[in-house]
Structure 1
């Protein structure tokens, strides 16, 4: 072997070693950020939600307070720039010149936390994703040897962050692949597998429990026609959510006075929370209530109207939260809508058609179906929801329904909140 070939071989080895080290660091930091944000959010959301339940006036005060604080933080601390969510990641990965600035880490962490704990009807998932992506982006800029791996290292941060939130390394990698990268390379596999392994190891050490404690035992073949119906309804609901978010953002962007945006968004959110407290924050507390003896709940006219009202209002309050300055995305709202849609459908089938379906199965499958249709990422939705409950019994029906919901949504409206732009729509 000549000297030039030996130098090239040594260089490749050094680059490979550095890529492994940086992937380990990204995996740990992104996962740690995700776990901390998740833990703090759950703790304080419960406290503030209890206070609002005790004194309903806080349903109005909390959104005004949080959106005002977020506005002043953006205005005076975070360079007067609004957070664009996952679109910021697309802008960075699709351009050699655009980068995710390091201030996006504290910006999304703080703003996402403030939005959810004070009742903003969204979740911390997108805040975690962008902050985790920024960790990867910052690491990528530290050495010239990483310049060619910009997308791979950003995806490694994202995959680790998703793993930390949902205890599913597969969902983390699939989300990075289906939504962000859309292509697989050896560098992508290396960096992302290492990052999610470190992230999963961290949550095992910390003994992080699944978000939902649910016992799934079986499903029946005769329920397949009803699952198909659920998939179609999930696709329709996801389009309603997507169009609502885009419409509200478009209309609110015409309001030039920030204070009017805050007041209008807070009023829509606050009044909705007074009517349906289930809409508070990411809504996981309301989903957990569904899991308490679901087979014993009888569908009455009043209950049906309540669930329909929740399904109609959730996209509106989510849209108002985001359009008026809140930080978040459609992950948690999709899971919330899917849970209530699945539960309402199962109760309707059992009450009026004697279908004898298992309500808890419809709740779980509905969560995955609406998420799949909302982000056009069925395989991410499958593993993410199975990770949420730490159970894969429903894998086959979830797969079928997620594909149906995605393609139903795409046939009606081809964009997601991540991929839409006014120029594409023309």
Structure 2
């Protein structure tokens, strides 16, 4: 081996060791932040939701309080700097000059937390993604040798954050690849693998259970035509969600006075929550409720109309939450819509066609397929849903409906809320 080759080899080893150490620290900090935000939000969301159910007045007050707090924090604590969500991450990875400033960590953490616990109909996932991406961005600025690995270190933070939220290191890796990086390198594999391993180790240490406790026993080949139809419907619902978010944001951008945005947004949100409490916050409480009651479900006129209303309203209230100042994204709304879509379609198939499909299976498939179409990341949706249920029996059906839903959505509207660049931005 020549002297030059030896120097290059040693240099690569030095860089790899430093990247590995940085990834370990990023993974630890990002996973801790993700778990802390998840646990804190779950705890207070449950308390506030119970208060609202016991006294309808809280449904009127909570959205206004939450959106007002976020506005004043942005004005006076975060110096009037608005959060653009995951687009900030894209801007940072695509530009050598733009970096994610440190304040993004507390900004998205606090605003995401306040949005959900006060009834904002979104989730903490994108807040976590941006906050953990900022951890990676800050790390890359600390040493000159990390300058060329900016995207990889940002992806390491994101991958660890997603792993912490959903308990799936594979989903964390795939989300960083499919949504953020879109390319694989040795540095990407090294940094993200170490980060997600660290995050998963933390979850094992605290014995974090799956988000949904679902017992799936089997699936039948005769249900495949119904799976295909569900995938198509999921793609249509995802497009409806995406276009609704873009449209409502565009309309709210025409309102110049922030107080008017807050008043209008909170009023619409309050009315929606009073009519359908299932729309409160992330909506995981509603998913758990329908999961545990599927065996007793028969399609009636009132139930059918309620499910249709929820499917139509959820994208609207999510859009209003985001447009009036709330922090979040379409991760949790997609899972929510998918679960209710799966329930409605399964009940309809059984009622009108005597198909005898398994309702619980359709709810899981619905969650995966709507998420896949909404974020255009089928493999992420596949492994994320499998981890949520801690069950791999539906691997092939989920894989199928994820690609059907994504293809359907892409044919109709080739953008997501992350990739579309509105004129008002």
Partners of 2:412 and 2:372 in 1: CA distance: 15
TM-score using structure 1 length? 0.98
Task: Name the SS of the counterpart of 2:142 in structure 1.
Answer: coil
Partners of 1:366 and 1:2 in 2: CA distance: 58
Cα distance, 1:3 vs structure 2: 5.7
User: 2:39 — aligned with what?
Assistant: 39
User: 2:128 — aligned with what?
Assistant: 128
User: 2:214 — aligned with what?
Assistant: 214
User: 2:160 — aligned with what?
Assistant: 160
Cα distance, 1:353 vs structure 2: 1.4
User: 1:275 — aligned with what?
Assistant: 275
The reply to whether residue 403 of structure 1 matches residue 403 of structure 2 is yes
Correspondences of 1:293-312 after superposition (within 5 Å): 293-312=293-312
Partners of 1:44 and 1:355 in 2: CA distance: 41
Partners of 2:39 and 2:162 in 1: CA distance: 14
User: 1:110 — aligned with what?
Assistant: 110
Correspondences of 1:346-361 after superposition (within 5 Å): 346-361=346-361
Partners of 1:348 and 1:381 in 2: CA distance: 25
Unaligned stretches of 5+ residues in structure 1: none
Correspondences of 1:153-232 after superposition (within 5 Å): 153-232=153-232
User: 1:264 — aligned with what?
Assistant: 264
Cα distance, 1:2 vs structure 2: 6.3
Partners of 1:9 and 1:224 in 2: CA distance: 53
Superposed CA deviations along residues 211-240 of structure 1, whole A, max 9, x for unmatched, are 000001100000000001100110010001
Correspondences of 1:17-166 after superposition (within 5 Å): 17-166=17-166
Correspondences of 1:286-297 after superposition (within 5 Å): 286-297=286-297
Correspondences of 1:275-424 after superposition (within 5 Å): 275-422=275-422
Partners of 1:343 and 1:350 in 2: CA distance: 11
Task: Name the SS of the counterpart of 1:282 in structure 2.
Answer: coil
Cα distance, 1:202 vs structure 2: 0.5
Cα distance, 1:9 vs structure 2: 3.6
Partners of 2:319 and 2:5 in 1: CA distance: 58
Moved more, 415-424 or 87-96: 415-424
Cα distance, 1:8 vs structure 2: 3.9
RMSD between superposed Cα atoms in Å: 1.2
Partners of 2:104 and 2:422 in 1: CA distance: 25
TM-score using structure 2 length? 0.98
Aligned length: 424
Task: Tell me: CA distance 1:225–1:294, structure 2 relative to 1, closer, same or farther (3 Å).
Answer: same
Cα distance, 1:5 vs structure 2: 5.0
Cα distance, 1:7 vs structure 2: 4.2
Partners of 2:261 and 2:380 in 1: CA distance: 34
